[in-house]
Amino acid sequence: MIQQIAFIITLGAASWFIWKRASRIRANINLGKDKEIKDNPNQRLSNMILVALGQKKMFKRPVPAFLHMLIYVGFLVINLEVLEFIIDGLAGTHRIFSPYLGSLYTVLMNIFEFLAVGVLLSCVFFLIRRNVLKLKRFWSTELAGWPRLDANIILCTEIILMLAILTMNASDQILQRTQDHYTATGHLFFSSFLIPVFDSLPTSTLIFIERFAWWFHIIGILGFAIYVTYSKHLHIFLAFPNTYFANVEPKGHMKNMPVVTNEVKMMLGLADASAATPPAEPGRFGAKDVNDLDWNNLLAAYACTECGRCTSECPANITGKKLSPRKIMMDTRDRMEDVGKSIEKGGPGLEDGKFLLGDYITKEEINACTSCNACVEACPVMINPLEIILELRRYVAMEESGSPASWNSVFQNIETNFAPWKFSPSDRFNWAKDEK
């Protein structure tokens, strides 16, 4: 009975913390501009299934993709065992599914253990890649400090949780021989290798180890669920809505501002007089802060895995420019978090004198972007850093007139000559006169 009460309190406390944090994240995302996304539902659903669930884009790099798949499948399947943990904790039972599933239970437990070992080995491999081999994309400036530590904490936590499962199952198999209330599970292949380690221990010690491993795993899972909401690993959950609401238009297409498009059409005499009322003039052209971006841009910032594939493919970054698409997403998320914390404490929120542009992301970074979409193509969860970069550049160009001088010359030429080059439109085809 004491165990049940303790479990209910633990589960309730964890649920409250998760709900509170999820509410804060939702409020932060809602700082963005409202945007209705209802087009192409079938394509969006397909993207979510293939990219978020099926991890289709990960397999451009097969080895890490396979190991990541092991961790991902292990995370999904092993959590089915956590369901049994929760029921046992609430009901005061022990392996409640075993009597009903019979020999199938043994098969399932062996599958869980196989995946646990797969997760463990994959995490060890990823730790080595990050900290021994030191892959370049994991040692960029933006990952210094907390982001790099966060990744290592998650990997080490997963290793410890998998060891807890194997330890619990090994001690449990020994106790099944002498303790009637320990339900028979059948032979569990991987945890059986640990049995010699515990076989000589007294029963009371084995019971303590088994219960400790059980509690450690369930508290670890609940703690992990809370921690994930503060971590880059939030993508485990937000990759699904992000791939669904991601832009499905061709990657070369840049979104126009409706109010500007309407003005241009009116100037050219192309506006439809019977069209609906033209869109209201925006409060700000482009984006200076997170509230100027669409909500799905902010969702994407929380869905970022910080894997660095976007940055490793970025031609500007490769040639030594300061632009890192990963940093753009991380900075956007950091700005949201800072604003959210300020609002929670009754502070000024967005009126704190800081802005996404300037205080988090510099003009040098956004001006280095070639708009090539390499980062968009590389992202395994369909994040689009280019949308944020373009909105920031629009603000600089249209609100501050702060674009580089060479850009302003191009803008002026397009306005007067309808081309980036400084010559009359009537001379545009002079080159053809010399053709023979």
**pLDDT per position as a tens digit, 258-286:** 777 877 777 777 766 555 555 555 568 89
Output the pLDDT for position 434.
Answer: 67
* Nearest-5° Cα angle at 315, 312 to 316: 105
Output the pLDDT for position 209.
Answer: 95
Taking the C-alpha atoms of residue 416 and residue 420, their distance in angstroms, rounded to an integer, is 10
pLDDT below 50 — which residues of the chain? none
Calculate the dihedral angle through the C-alpha atoms of 350, 356, 357, 362, rounding to the nearest 10 degrees: 150
Tokens 């126009």 belong to which residue?
256
Output the pLDDT for position 278.
Answer: 56
Query: pTM for the full model?
Result: 0.87
Output the pLDDT for position 271.
Answer: 66
Domain map of the chain by residue range? Answer: 2-30+61-244, 249-421
- Return the structure tokens found at 70: 């092991």
Chain centre distance of CA 286: 25
Taking the C-alpha atoms of residue 139 and residue 280, their distance in angstroms, rounded to an integer, is 45
- Return the structure tokens found at 126: 């990823």
Q: 393 and 366 in contact (C-beta within 8 Å)?
A: yes
Radius of gyration of the chain (CA): 28
- DSSP helix/strand/coil, 224: helix
Task: Give the contacts of 174 (CB within 8 A, at least 6 positions apart).
Answer: 195, 198, 199, 206
Output the pLDDT for position 23.
Answer: 96
How far is residue 58 from each of residues 164, 381, 419, measured CA to CA in Å? Answer: 29, 9, 40
- DSSP helix/strand/coil, 176: coil
- Return the structure tokens found at 74: 């292990």
Q: 302 and 333 in contact (C-beta within 8 Å)?
A: yes
Calculate the dihedral angle through the C-alpha atoms of 148, 381, 385, 335, rounding to the nearest 10 degrees: -50
Taking the C-alpha atoms of residue 199 and residue 183, their distance in angstroms, rounded to an integer, is 18
- DSSP helix/strand/coil, 53: helix
Output the pLDDT for position 275.
Answer: 54
The DSSP secondary-structure symbol of 256 reads: P
Tokens 């798949």 belong to which residue?
69
Determine if residue 40 is left, alpha or beta; phi over 0 gives left, psi from -120 to 50 gives alpha, anything else beta: left
Q: Which of 250, 307, 249 is nearest to 58 (CA)?
A: 307
pLDDT digits (tens, 9 = 90+) for 186-238: 899 999 999 999 999 999 999 999 999 999 989 998 998 999 999 998 998 99
Taking the C-alpha atoms of residue 301 and residue 246, their distance in angstroms, rounded to an integer, is 12
Output the pLDDT for position 78.
Answer: 80
Output the pLDDT for position 436.
Answer: 54
- Rounded to a whole number, what is the largest CA-CA distance in the chain? 99
